[in-house]
Structure 1
Amino acid sequence: MNAAQRLLPLTTLLVLFSGTAAQAGSVTVGGVSEAIATNRALAKVPSGKTVTDTTCEEIGTAGNSSTYRCTVTWE
Protein backbone atom coordinates (compact mmCIF):
# COMPACT_ATOMS: atom_id res chain seq x y z
CA MET A 1 0.00 0.00 0.00
CA ASN A 2 1.55 3.34 -1.03
CA ALA A 3 1.39 6.61 0.92
CA ALA A 4 -1.55 7.98 -1.07
CA GLN A 5 -3.60 4.86 -0.39
CA ARG A 6 -2.83 5.04 3.33
CA LEU A 7 -3.86 8.69 3.50
CA LEU A 8 -7.07 8.33 1.51
CA PRO A 9 -9.20 7.53 4.60
CA LEU A 10 -7.71 10.52 6.44
CA THR A 11 -8.28 12.80 3.47
CA THR A 12 -11.86 11.59 3.19
CA LEU A 13 -12.48 12.31 6.86
CA LEU A 14 -10.97 15.78 6.55
CA VAL A 15 -13.24 16.57 3.62
CA LEU A 16 -16.32 15.23 5.36
CA PHE A 17 -15.63 16.92 8.68
CA SER A 18 -14.57 20.21 7.13
CA GLY A 19 -18.25 20.38 6.25
CA THR A 20 -19.47 23.90 6.29
CA ALA A 21 -18.20 26.70 8.44
CA ALA A 22 -20.72 29.51 7.96
CA GLN A 23 -20.40 33.16 8.87
CA ALA A 24 -22.76 35.98 8.08
CA GLY A 25 -22.38 36.50 4.36
CA SER A 26 -19.99 33.65 3.60
CA VAL A 27 -19.61 29.89 3.60
CA THR A 28 -16.49 27.71 3.40
CA VAL A 29 -16.62 24.13 2.13
CA GLY A 30 -13.97 21.48 1.43
CA GLY A 31 -13.81 19.04 -1.46
CA VAL A 32 -11.54 16.73 -3.39
CA SER A 33 -11.48 19.14 -6.34
CA GLU A 34 -11.82 22.89 -6.71
CA ALA A 35 -14.98 22.47 -8.79
CA ILE A 36 -16.65 20.22 -6.20
CA ALA A 37 -15.77 22.53 -3.30
CA THR A 38 -16.97 25.60 -5.21
CA ASN A 39 -20.25 23.96 -6.21
CA ARG A 40 -20.90 22.77 -2.65
CA ALA A 41 -20.28 26.29 -1.34
CA LEU A 42 -22.49 27.88 -4.00
CA ALA A 43 -25.29 25.48 -3.09
CA LYS A 44 -25.23 26.91 0.46
CA VAL A 45 -25.77 30.54 -0.61
CA PRO A 46 -29.18 31.69 0.65
CA SER A 47 -31.84 32.18 -1.98
CA GLY A 48 -31.97 35.70 -3.36
CA LYS A 49 -28.41 36.60 -2.32
CA THR A 50 -25.80 37.81 -4.81
CA VAL A 51 -22.38 36.14 -4.79
CA THR A 52 -19.66 38.79 -4.54
CA ASP A 53 -16.52 36.65 -4.28
CA THR A 54 -15.31 33.07 -4.63
CA THR A 55 -11.85 32.00 -3.45
CA CYS A 56 -10.25 28.58 -3.21
CA GLU A 57 -7.19 27.31 -1.41
CA GLU A 58 -5.36 24.15 -2.39
CA ILE A 59 -4.40 22.05 0.61
CA GLY A 60 -1.54 19.70 -0.14
CA THR A 61 -1.59 16.23 1.33
CA ALA A 62 1.01 13.50 1.34
CA GLY A 63 1.88 12.14 -2.06
CA ASN A 64 0.56 13.97 -5.09
CA SER A 65 -3.02 14.48 -3.94
CA SER A 66 -4.65 17.69 -2.80
CA THR A 67 -7.92 18.84 -1.32
CA TYR A 68 -9.51 22.23 -1.73
CA ARG A 69 -11.22 24.67 0.59
CA CYS A 70 -13.42 27.23 -1.14
CA THR A 71 -15.16 30.26 0.33
CA VAL A 72 -18.12 32.00 -1.26
CA THR A 73 -19.13 35.46 -0.04
CA TRP A 74 -22.49 37.07 -0.72
CA GLU A 75 -24.44 40.27 -0.12
Structure 2
Amino acid sequence: MKAILLFAVATMVIGPCGGAWAGSATQEAMDEEVATNRALSKVPEGKKVTGTSCRSIEIGMGGETSYRCTATWE
Protein backbone atom coordinates (compact mmCIF):
# COMPACT_ATOMS: atom_id res chain seq x y z
CA MET A 1 0.00 0.00 0.00
CA LYS A 2 2.86 2.37 0.81
CA ALA A 3 4.44 1.69 -2.58
CA ILE A 4 1.22 2.58 -4.39
CA LEU A 5 0.90 5.79 -2.40
CA LEU A 6 4.52 6.76 -3.08
CA PHE A 7 4.07 6.07 -6.78
CA ALA A 8 0.91 8.19 -6.90
CA VAL A 9 2.59 11.11 -5.14
CA ALA A 10 5.68 10.87 -7.36
CA THR A 11 3.48 10.82 -10.46
CA MET A 12 1.63 13.93 -9.32
CA VAL A 13 4.85 15.79 -8.53
CA ILE A 14 6.92 14.72 -11.52
CA GLY A 15 4.12 14.54 -14.10
CA PRO A 16 3.52 18.27 -14.66
CA CYS A 17 7.26 18.96 -14.88
CA GLY A 18 8.08 16.29 -17.45
CA GLY A 19 7.31 18.00 -20.76
CA ALA A 20 9.52 15.64 -22.75
CA TRP A 21 7.97 12.49 -21.35
CA ALA A 22 6.06 10.03 -23.51
CA GLY A 23 2.33 9.77 -23.08
CA SER A 24 -0.71 7.76 -24.02
CA ALA A 25 -4.45 8.12 -24.40
CA THR A 26 -7.04 5.36 -24.28
CA GLN A 27 -10.57 5.54 -25.70
CA GLU A 28 -13.37 3.01 -26.03
CA ALA A 29 -16.04 2.55 -28.72
CA MET A 30 -18.16 -0.16 -30.33
CA ASP A 31 -16.06 0.12 -33.52
CA GLU A 32 -12.28 -0.42 -33.53
CA GLU A 33 -11.59 2.33 -36.08
CA VAL A 34 -13.67 4.84 -34.11
CA ALA A 35 -11.87 3.96 -30.85
CA THR A 36 -8.47 4.31 -32.55
CA ASN A 37 -9.39 7.68 -34.08
CA ARG A 38 -10.68 8.94 -30.74
CA ALA A 39 -7.41 7.95 -29.04
CA LEU A 40 -5.37 9.58 -31.82
CA SER A 41 -7.36 12.80 -31.43
CA LYS A 42 -6.00 13.08 -27.87
CA VAL A 43 -2.34 13.20 -28.99
CA PRO A 44 -0.97 16.67 -28.18
CA GLU A 45 -0.10 18.85 -31.16
CA GLY A 46 3.52 18.47 -32.21
CA LYS A 47 3.99 15.05 -30.60
CA LYS A 48 5.03 12.02 -32.65
CA VAL A 49 2.71 9.00 -32.51
CA THR A 50 4.79 5.94 -31.67
CA GLY A 51 2.06 3.33 -31.84
CA THR A 52 -1.53 2.24 -31.43
CA SER A 53 -3.01 -0.90 -29.94
CA CYS A 54 -6.53 -2.21 -29.42
CA ARG A 55 -8.19 -4.78 -27.19
CA SER A 56 -11.60 -6.27 -27.82
CA ILE A 57 -13.91 -6.51 -24.84
CA GLU A 58 -17.04 -8.63 -24.72
CA ILE A 59 -19.81 -6.69 -23.00
CA GLY A 60 -23.23 -7.65 -21.74
CA MET A 61 -25.03 -10.93 -21.98
CA GLY A 62 -25.56 -10.54 -25.74
CA GLY A 63 -21.87 -10.94 -26.50
CA GLU A 64 -21.46 -7.52 -28.10
CA THR A 65 -17.88 -6.39 -28.65
CA SER A 66 -16.42 -3.08 -27.59
CA TYR A 67 -12.89 -1.92 -28.40
CA ARG A 68 -10.43 -0.17 -26.11
CA CYS A 69 -7.66 1.44 -28.13
CA THR A 70 -4.55 3.26 -26.98
CA ALA A 71 -2.38 5.73 -28.86
CA THR A 72 1.13 6.38 -27.55
CA TRP A 73 3.39 9.32 -28.32
CA GLU A 74 6.75 10.83 -27.48
What interval of TM-score do these two structures reach, taking the shorter chain for normalisation?
0.5 to 0.7
Alignment: residue pair count: 52
- Gaps of at least 5 residues in structure 1 are 1-23
**Counterpart of 1:55?**
53
Q: For the residues of structure 1 that align with 2:48 and 2:33, how far apart are their CA atoms?
A: 19
Identity within the alignment, %: 56
* 2:41 is the alignment partner of 1:43: yes
Q: Secondary structure at the match of 1:37?
A: helix
CA distance in 1, matches of 2:51, 2:41: 14
The match for 1:7 is none
Poorly superposed stretches of 4+, deviation over 3 Å: none
Question: Equivalents in 2 of 1:64, 1:30: separation in Å?
Answer: 16
Structure 2 unaligned runs (5+)?
1-21
Which position in structure 2 is the counterpart of 1:66?
65
TM-score between both structures, scaled by the size of structure 2: 0.65
Residue 64 of structure 1, CA deviation: 3.6
Aligned to 1:53, the other structure's residue is in SS state: strand
Q: What root-mean-square deviation, in Å, do the aligned CA atoms of Structure 1 and Structure 2 show? A: 1.1
